Amino acid sequence: MQLPLFQVDAFEEGPFTGNPAAVVPLEEPIHDGLMQQIAEENNLSETAFTAPIPDAEGDAPTFALRWFTPTTEVDLCGHATLGAAAALRDLGALDGATQVHFSTRSGPLTASLGGGDQVEIDLPAAVPTRAPGPDQLDAIERALDAPVEAVFLHRYALAVLPSEEAVRALDPREDHLRRAAIPIIATAASASPGVDFVSRFFAPTLGVLEDPVTGSAHCQLVPYWAAHLGKHELTARQVSARGGRLRCELEGDRVRMAGGARIYLRGTIHVG
């Protein structure tokens, strides 16, 4: 079996920035175990698999979309959704359409393709409201090896730090991150002009020690900072080693995220 393979740098700010996502556009679905093996072989934070849904209703092409880390399937991945839209456009699978719908484990998602390498995705907002108990709060501070001002829980733990410098200086230990038993977003208001907030994302329990740029984390970050800063349009930067930039907007119970999606690699994988 031969399958097309793309590698796309999502939310990039130039060459070798953003979050690399592998995208495998399928003509028809393949079994779950094979998708997991391909994701493990790719060894990127996410591999996205798309398959067309030809009879779907609507005015835009529709594809099934699933995301796998090297160790597990996940419910939502923003950067690989961005990458999937860019790869399908490059492959010619969208027939010139500037919008594509995805059917996913997190419900229907939409990607809009602008000029150049710009792509905007529409994801469900996740308002982080639950506070951790004392033991979990202690585990999160131990994992980050830094004091935090507040922690809120949803899919991930959202840890608010006192400054951008504190976020950049984090050097957490993998064993303590695993003991926390929940992926952790570290965030603070930005000190940089034109950027509202910064973040980093640690998820060894999902097979990713530190993710370069994390769309799903911004489903929690954007509602938090929109309320904290009193604005619905925000510019974010994830300050990992690679780094990436996101233009975000909170619109009701949805978060719109836009950024660059630069195709780094086109190829063919040989399976079986």
- Note the pLDDT tens digit of each residue in 73-114: 999 999 999 999 999 999 999 999 999 999 999 999 999 998
Catalytic residue among 12, 46, 164, 210: 46
Which pLDDT score, from 0 to 100, does residue 129 have?
79
Q: What angle do CA 114, 79, 145 make, to 5 degrees?
A: 140
| Element housing 259 (H / E) | strand 254-270
Comma-separated ranges of CATH 3.10.310.10 domains in the chain:
2-122+257-270, 134-252
Closest by CA position to 128, among listed 245, 222, 205:
222
Which pLDDT score, from 0 to 100, does residue 130 have?
73
Pairing of strands 107-113, 118-124: antiparallel
Reported confidence tier of residue 58, pLDDT bands at 50, 70, 90? confident
Interval 222-245 mean pLDDT: 97
* Mean pLDDT over the full length of the chain: 94
> 134-252 is classed in which CATH architecture?
Roll (3.10)
| 46 part of the active site | yes
Secondary structure (3-state) at 41: helix
Which pLDDT score, from 0 to 100, does residue 51 have?
98
CB 263 within 8 A of CB 6: yes
- Report d(CA 83, CA 45) in Å as an integer: 13
Which pLDDT score, from 0 to 100, does residue 134 have?
86
Closest by CA position to 77, among listed 105, 100, 113:
105
pLDDT score of 56 more than 80: no
What percentage of the chain carries pLDDT values higher than 90? 88
pLDDT score of 216 more than 90: yes
Closest by CA position to 20, among listed 6, 11, 8:
8
pLDDT score of 149 more than 80: yes
Reported confidence tier of residue 59, pLDDT bands at 50, 70, 90? confident
Which pLDDT score, from 0 to 100, does residue 131 have?
80
Reported confidence tier of residue 136, pLDDT bands at 50, 70, 90? confident
Residue that has been written with the tokens 């907007």 in this structure? 249
Query: 2-122+257-270 belongs to which CATH class?
Result: alpha beta
